[in-house]
Amino acid sequence: MNSTTNSQLLKGSLSVMLLRLLEDREKMYGYEITQKVKELTAGKMTITEGALYPALHKLEAEGLLTTETQVVDGRARKYYSLTKTGQTKAVGRIAELNAFLENLNLVLNLKPSL
C-alpha cells in the first residue's frame, strides 16, 4: 500500500487502533506499539512516530490513557495504559468503527446493476 494513502486512511482510525491494542495488553510504550502494528499486519501497515505520539498524547489529555514511567536499561520509559473511562470508551469506539467498516464494505462490494 502506498504510504501516503496508508497514512490518510489511518488518520481517522488511529486512536481506535491504539485503544484496541491497549485493551489487549495491560500497558505498552510508543516504540512497542509501532512494532506490534507492523507485526500484526505483516509489515503492510506502519504507524509513523509523527502520527503515533500526538494521538497518544491526545488520548492521555482526554483522560482515556494514563502513563507510568519505569526505568529500563538505565533510562526512563513511559508506558501507556487504559483508564477506567478509556476501557469503556474503547468498547464503544471499536464497535463504531466496526459498524462503519461493515457499511463501507457494502458500498465497496457493490454489484454492478444489470
Binding residues for another protein, rule: CB under 8 A, are 29-31, 48-50, 53-54, 57-58, 60-61, 69, 72-73, 75-78
Q: What is d(CA 11, CA 84) in angstroms, rounded to the nearest whole number?
A: 25
Smallest separation (angstroms) from another protein to the CB of 76:
4
Q: Are 70 and 27 in contact (CB under 8 A)?
A: no
61 vs 108, beta carbon nearer another protein = 61
CA angle (79, 33, 46) in 5-degree steps: 155
Smallest separation (angstroms) from another protein to the CB of 84:
18
Q: Are 37 and 47 in contact (CB under 8 A)?
A: yes
Smallest separation (angstroms) from another protein to the CB of 67:
9
7 vs 13, beta carbon nearer another protein = 7
Q: What is d(CA 78, CA 28) in angstroms, rounded to the nearest whole number?
A: 8
23 vs 60, beta carbon nearer another protein = 60
